Amino acid sequence: MNYRHAFHAGNYGDVFKHVLLLRLLRAQQRKEKGSLYLDTHAGRGAYDLGLPPVPGRKDRPPEWPQGVGRLWAGTDLPPALDEYLTLVRNFNEQNGAGPGVLRFYPGSPWFAALVQRPQDRLAFWEVQTDEANALRSEFARWPRTAVECADGYGALRATLPPQERRAVVLIDPPFEQPDEFGAISAALREGLQRFPSGVYAVWYPVTERARAEVFRASLRAFALPPTLWAELAVTADPQVRMKGCGLLILNPPWRFADELPALLPVLAGKLGADAGAVARWEWLVPEA
C-alpha cells in the first residue's frame, strides 16, 4: 500500500471529519457513563506539516493550506470551530511549534484523546507497520488506550460490543481499494449485528456523486438505525475529480444534528474553492 496520510493531513477532508468527530464525541459525553472510541483506520496520529509529505518530493504542494490553513487565523467562529482550533493550537504549542505557528496537525486519534474523560477508552487500529509504530510511540504513556497493527475492519468483531455498552466508531479508510464501499457495508452490517446501539461514522470522498448515493442506497438492504449524512462540496468544477467529502453517521447522539445548521455552511464558506462550494445534510433514516 502506498497510501500515506501525511500528504493529506489537515486538508479540507480532515477538517470536515475532525470537526464533526469532535461534535460526535462531545454529544456522546452528555451522558456521564464512559464510552469507547474505536478508530478502525487510525493513521500515525500526528503529522509534521513542515516535512515534505512524500520523502524526496518537494514538488507536490501540500493540501493543508486549503484546509486547516484557511481557519488558522480565524476569529469570530462558531463555538464548534473554535473548540476544534483551540485543540489544534494547543497541540502545536505542546509539540514545540513557535507562538502562533501552525506546524503540527493532530490525527483523529489525538482529537479523541484530547477530549477523553477518565472513564473513556480509546482503541486505534492501523494496518501499516510504520504508521502503527509511530502511533504506538505517540500514545505509549497515554491512559486507557490500545493500539493494534491489524486490519481495521476486523476491529468491529474484536472489540464490539464494548464493556461500556457505549461507543463511537470512526471508519476512515483510504479508498484505495476498488470496493471500499462494499467493505464498509459489510463492516457496518457486522457492527450493527454485534452492537446495534453504537454510533458509527464513515468518512467518504465525493468523487462521482452516484457512488455515494449507490452506497447509501445499498445500506437500505439491512435494517438501519437512525442515520444521517453530511457532505461538503468545495467545488462544482467538473475538471476536479474529488469535489468534496461526506460523513455518514449511524445512531447520531442526541442533539448532534441540531448543531449542523450553524456549523456546516460556515465550513463550506471557509473551505470552499469557488462559488460552487456548499454543505448538505439529510436523514437517510430519520429519528423516530
Ligand X SMILES: C[S@@+](CC[C@H](N)C(=O)[O-])C[C@H]1O[C@@H](n2cnc3c(N)ncnc32)[C@H](O)[C@@H]1O
By CB under 6 A, name the binding residues for ligand X. Answer: 3, 5, 14, 17, 39, 41-43, 107-108, 125-128, 131, 151-153, 172-174
Q: Which is nearer to ligand X, 103 or 224 (CB)?
A: 103
Instruction: Provide, rounded to whole angstroms, the least separation between the CB of residue 18 and ligand X.
Output: 6
DSSP collapsed to 3 states, 21-43: HHHHHHHHCCCCCCCEEEECCCC
Q: Which is nearer to ligand X, 186 or 262 (CB)?
A: 186
How buried is residue 175: exposed, middle or buried, by Cβ count under 10 Å (0-12/13-18/19+)?
Answer: middle
Q: Which is nearer to ligand X, 29 or 128 (CB)?
A: 128
Phi, psi of 186 (to 5 degrees): -60, -40
- Give the Å distances, CA to CA, from 186 to 87, 101, 156, 192, 217: 34, 42, 11, 10, 14
Instruction: Provide, rounded to whole angstroms, the least separation between the CB of residue 32 and ligand X.
Output: 27
- Among this protein's residues, is 172 annotated catalytic? yes
Q: Which is nearer to ligand X, 43 or 252 (CB)?
A: 43
- Give the Å distances, CA to CA, from 163 to 44, 156, 244, 250, 270: 26, 13, 36, 20, 40
Spatial separation of the C-alpha atoms in residues 286 and 249, rounded to whole Å: 12
Tell me which residue has cell 477530549. 115
Asked whether the beta carbons of 229 and 216 are under 8 A apart, the reply is: yes
Instruction: Provide, rounded to whole angstroms, the least separation between the CB of residue 110 and ligand X.
Output: 8
Instruction: Provide, rounded to whole angstroms, the least separation between the CB of residue 113 and ligand X.
Output: 12
Residue 192 carries which side chain, given as an amino acid letter? L
Active-site residue among 76, 172, 237, 258?
172
207-242 b/e with 16+ CB inside 10 Å = b? eeeeebeebbeebeeeeebebbbbbbbbbeeeeeeb
Asked whether the beta carbons of 249 and 201 are under 8 A apart, the reply is: yes
Instruction: Provide, rounded to whole angstroms, the least separation between the CB of residue 137 and ligand X.
Output: 15
User: What is the number of the residue whose Cβ is closest to ligand X?
Assistant: 107
Q: Which is nearer to ligand X, 1 or 210 (CB)?
A: 1
Tell me which residues are annotated as active site: 172
